[in-house]
Structures are given as C-alpha cells and as structure tokens.
Amino acid sequence: MTVTDAPKIVTSRLGYDDSHTLERYLATGGYEGLRKALSMTPEDVAKEVDAVSLLGRGGAGFPAGRKWSMLRKAPTSYLVVNGDESEPATFKDHLLIERDPHQLVEGVVIACYALQVTTAFIYIRGEFALGLERVTAAVNDAYGHGAIGRDIFGSGFSIDIVVHPGAGAYICGEETALLESLEGKRGFPRIKPPYFPAAIGLYGEPTVVNNVETLSNLPWVLSNGSAAFTALGEGRSTGTRLFALAGHVKNPGVYEVEMVKTTFRDLIYAPVLGGGIPGGRELKAFIPGGASAPWFGPDQVELPLGQDEVGAAGSMLGSGSVVVMDDSTCVVRAAWRITRFFWRESCGQCTPCREGSGWLEKILRRIEDGEGRESDLELLMDISDNLAPGVSWPPQQTTICVLGSSIPSSIASAIRMFRDEFLLHIKDGSCPQGPAPHG
C-alpha cells in the first residue's frame, strides 16, 4: 500500500479549528497567490493555469485552462462558482466551503483577474447554512483586507463577489440550470446549442462556471508555481484531488490524495485513509465517482485514481465520491435508492427523464419488495435504453442534460454485475438480504 506524502494543496489548513478565519488564513500564506497573480498579466495567469492541466473537479473533468480560453470576448462577462454540491455521497466542497472559505475567495479573485470578468457569483447549496455564513463572512473580511472590491491590493484591478444561496434542487448543480437558478428561475437546464455558458451564459453574457474545489487549487498553484503542481500525479491527472469516501468503510471522510499514484485500494483500505471495511466484511462493489458513475467490483480496486485510467475502465471519477458497498448490501436496494434520487431530482423538462425515472424507480422497488417479474430486467434495460441509447459508457443522450442519461448507470451496473441477485429476488418473492425499511 502506497500512500504518497504529496503536499496538501487544498486541505492544508484543516488541522486548525479556526481555519475559516482571515487571521488564520493570513498566518498560513493566505492571499499570497493573489498578490503573485496581480503582479503578472492576466494572460500569464491564465497560461499558468492552463499549464497545470487542472481538471475540473465538478464532475465533467474538463481542464480549467481550456475552459477559460473558450470564453467569448465581451465587455461584460461573469465567473460563477458552482458550490451546489448535491451529487450523492459527494461532500468535499462542503468541507472547503465551511473550513477554508478564504481559499475559495482567493481562488475566485485570481480566476476573475485571469478572465477579466465583470462580477463573480458564488452559488452555494442552500442547505449549507453554516457554509453560507462562513463564505459571507470571508467575503466581508476580504473586502476589509482589500482583497476584493475596488483596486485590489493597489493593483488597479476591481471585482465584486456576490454570495448566492440555492434552495434545494440537485439539478442546479448542472451549470446551465445553475445559471437559470441564479437568474431567479426554476432550475431547468438550458438547451445546448445554443446555451453554452462560455458563449451565452448568465444574463446572456459569456460565463465561466467552475467548481469550488477547482478554484480552491488556484492560490497554491500561483504561490508554488505550475511545476510544483504538475510534479504531482501523472498524465493529464496532475496534482492532488479530494475524494469523499462513504459507505461501508471504517473511516468515511474526505481525503486529499495524489492523483494516479493512489489507487482505489489505497483509498478504501489504507489505515490513514478509509481503513478498510468494518466487521471483517468483503467488498462487494463500489461506486467510483458519484451516483451517475457505473459501478466497479473488487476486480477494479487496483485502478489508479486517474481520470483517464478510470475512464478507460468504463466509469468516471466524476465528482470524486467513492461509495463502498460490502457483501451485506442488497444491490437491488442500492440501485433503487440511487434511481429514486434521480426521480426526485429530475427537473421535469424532458419526457424520458421525468417519466422514465419514476417508472424505473417503481419497477426496482417492486423487485426489492418481491413483486418482480422476469421480464422486468429486460424492461429496466429497455427503458434505460430510451434514456441513454445503447446503455454504454460514456452514455449517449436523449435529453437536455446528462442527468437523464446518468440514470441507467447504476441500474445497468447492478444488473450486469449481479443479475443472479435480481433473479433471486424475483424467484423468491423477497429480498435475500431480508426486508429492510424504506420510505
């Protein structure tokens, strides 16, 4: 087992109880990256970020530098920070928002400078009441410190930051739904074409949407230089990444580990990380990158935590959440619960997603309750095919956003990996793991 001693890039301050305060932030090198950035030209800052291959941490893994370079040139443009973190079992941004808000604020100002945008909005999931309070306080303090507002640190650069609360809707994590929500509307994802945010974003102006963790890397990158960042990881997956480890492990939590150099086995079993599965149970399956990701089995635990490596194996690192299921887990129930999530969170625009999600949920629940039929497996796959033609990876889409095409992932994985268990439910008319309560 190899847990590298890579530096902590985004979690360096979390050992302090007062990590969220300006005092602690300044005492630990805070706002130095911004000062450095302001001494450079915006183009050079953008180049520096492009050079580190900072893969987006929100789920799609698109390199931040490339994304920035696609921003349409216009007098008015925006940076919107995606702090809506609602992907099941993902809780890393939550940590950064509550525990190191200044790091986020500094990252935002650096990005604003590189992009020369007009205003930044930090959209934070409404349920993060404490996070909202802390980021608001950080913004207030940063104003006082001269790190936001007019003529930042005497550089002549000015920017305003508005902290915006969400109100409880997973879909608002999808970047165009987030923009709609920020405009005061329902979180209906926009159709693409033409609403690619870089071209037509917030209020119709070009907009960059970046994830909280993505931006939280920037102060370190600027302070330490791109070479220090690219020295970590391998290939396109450079630096470190936060992984939210949940489910059947001894130490669930968020871990910052070096990319590629660390494997799923390390993450789940290393004593300083997940600590293994409690109760001496065996690993049955794990979800490598959020509810939308296809599942992996014990065979894949040696895979390195690298974007391309996991992609090649048929799934994704996605939002950086790893859910471990031990051998006591009923996979029908697990698939049902994830499908239930998508059903409850579908925005309701697209017919296949709106109606298909509920239909799939009802079938899975019926199977779990022992009322399944053999034809149900075929039906599940066929409905899935209408959401993601071919039910392959990466999925094809019949819907406006990828929520719809993500729904089949867990169902198809569960059926593919544990067909017999489904059939057992159907044959026995009950769940082999015994009845478990559900809502």
Partner 1 sequence: MTQSHLAPEVMARARDIVALYPHPRSALIPLCHLAQEQDGWLRPEAMAEIAELVGITPAEVLGTASFYDMLHTEEVGTYVVTLCTNIACMLRGAYELLHHAEESLGIRTGSTTADGVFTLEDAECLADCGRAPCLQVNHRFFGDVSPEGFDKIVDDLRAGRLADEVPHHGTLVRTERDGGLRVEAETITAERRATAAAMAERAATAAAASEAKANG
Partner 2 sequence: MADPVITSHHAIAPHTEEGATVEMTIDGRAVVAGAGEFLIAAAERAGVFIPRFCYHPRLRSVGMCRMCLVEVSGPRGATLQPACYVAVAEGMEVVTTSDKVKKAQDGVLEMLLVNHPLDCPVCDKGGECPLQDQVLAYGPGESRFLEEKRHWAKPTPISELVLLDRERCIQCGRCVRFANEVAGEAQIDFLGRGDMVEVNVFEGQAFSSYFSGNTVQICPVGALTASPYRFTARPWDLDQVESTCTLCAFGCRAAVQSSANRITRLLGMDSDPVNQSWLCDKGRFASEAVNAENRLTEPLIRRNDILEPASWGEALELVARRLGELRTAKGASAIAVMGGARLSNEDAYAWAKLAKAVIGTDSVDAQMGDGLPAEVVVALPRATIDEACKARCLVVLAGDLREELPVLFLRVRSAAVDDAVPVVELAPQSGSVTGFATASVAYGPGEAAELVRALATGGAVPATVEPAQWSAAAEALHRAGTDGEGIVVILGRPSVAEDGALVADAAAAMAAAWPAARFLLALRRGNVMGAIDMGLAPGLLPGRVSLDDGRSFFEEQWGSVPAGRGRDAAGILEGLADGTMAAVVMVGADPLSDFPDGTLAGDGIAGADFVVAVDGFLSRSAARADVVLPASIVYERSGTTTNIEGRVSRLSQKLVAPGQCWPDWMIASELAARLGGDLGVESMTEIWDEIEKVATSHTGITRAVLESLSARDGIIAPLAASPVTLSRRLSPEPFDPMATPGIESVEAQGAPPRSGGAEPTSGEGAGHTAVSGHGHQAPRPRSLRWPQPVAAPPLPAPDSYSVRLVSGRRLYDDGVLVGATDALAALVAPATVRAHPHDLEKLGVGAGDPVRVRSARGDIVLDAAIDESLPRGVASIDFNLSADGAVGAAALLIDSREAVVDVRLETP
- Footprint on this chain of ligand SF4 (rule: CB under 6 A): 171, 189, 346-350, 353-354, 399-401, 403-404
Location of structure tokens 């198809």: 412
Within a 13 Å sphere around the CA of 17, how many CA atoms are in the beta-carbon half?
Answer: 0
Phi and psi of 404, rounded to 5°?
Answer: -55, -45
Q: 330: which DSSP letter?
A: -
Residue 41 vs 351, nearer CB to partner 2: 351
The residue ranges that bind partner 2 (CB under 8 A) are 169, 176, 179-180, 183-186, 188-191, 193-195, 200, 202-204, 343-352, 354-359, 362-363, 366, 379, 383, 385-386, 389, 396-400
C-alpha distances (whole Å) from 294 to each of 183, 249, 345, 384 are 33, 20, 19, 13
Residue 157 makes contact with ligand FMN by CB under 6 A: no
The partner residues of 123 in beta bridges, in order of sequence, read 82, 164
CA dist 171 and 86 (Å) reads 8
Residue 345 makes contact with partner 1 by CB under 8 A: yes
CA dist 275 and 112 (Å) reads 40
8 Å CB contact between 400 and 410: no
Residue 80 vs 353, nearer CB to ligand SF4: 353
Residue 154 makes contact with partner 1 by CB under 8 A: no
Per CB under 8 A, contacts with partner 1 among 105-144 are 116, 118-119, 125-130, 132-134, 136-137, 139-140, 143
Residue 261 vs 425, nearer CB to partner 1: 425
Q: Which of ligand FMN, partner 1, partner 2, none binds 354 (CB below 5-8 Å, type-dependent)? A: partner 2
8 Å CB contact between 214 and 195: no
Location of structure tokens 């302070």: 223
Q: Where are the alpha helices (DSSP H) in 159-281?
A: 175-182, 212-216, 218-224, 226-230, 264-269
Q: Which of partner 1, partner 2, ligand SF4, none binds 191 (CB below 5-8 Å, type-dependent)? A: partner 2
Residue 175 makes contact with partner 1 by CB under 8 A: no
Binding mask 159-188 for ligand FMN (x = CB under 6 A): ------------x-xxx-------------
Residue 40 makes contact with partner 1 by CB under 8 A: no
CB of 56 vs ligand SF4, minimal distance in Å: 19
Residue 53 makes contact with ligand FMN by CB under 6 A: no
- Angle of helix 129-145 versus helix 101-115 axis, rounded to 10: 60
Residue 187 makes contact with partner 1 by CB under 8 A: yes
Residue 258 vs 345, nearer CB to partner 1: 345
Q: Which of ligand FMN, partner 2, ligand SF4, none binds 183 (CB below 5-8 Å, type-dependent)? A: partner 2
CB of 396 vs ligand SF4, minimal distance in Å: 13
C-alpha distances (whole Å) from 410 to each of 103, 315, 339, 405 are 35, 11, 8, 11
Handedness of CA 105, 109, 114, 119 (dihedral sign): positive
* Residues lying near ligand FMN in the complex (CB under 6 A): 56-60, 62, 64, 67, 82, 84-87, 171, 173-175, 209-211, 214, 401-403
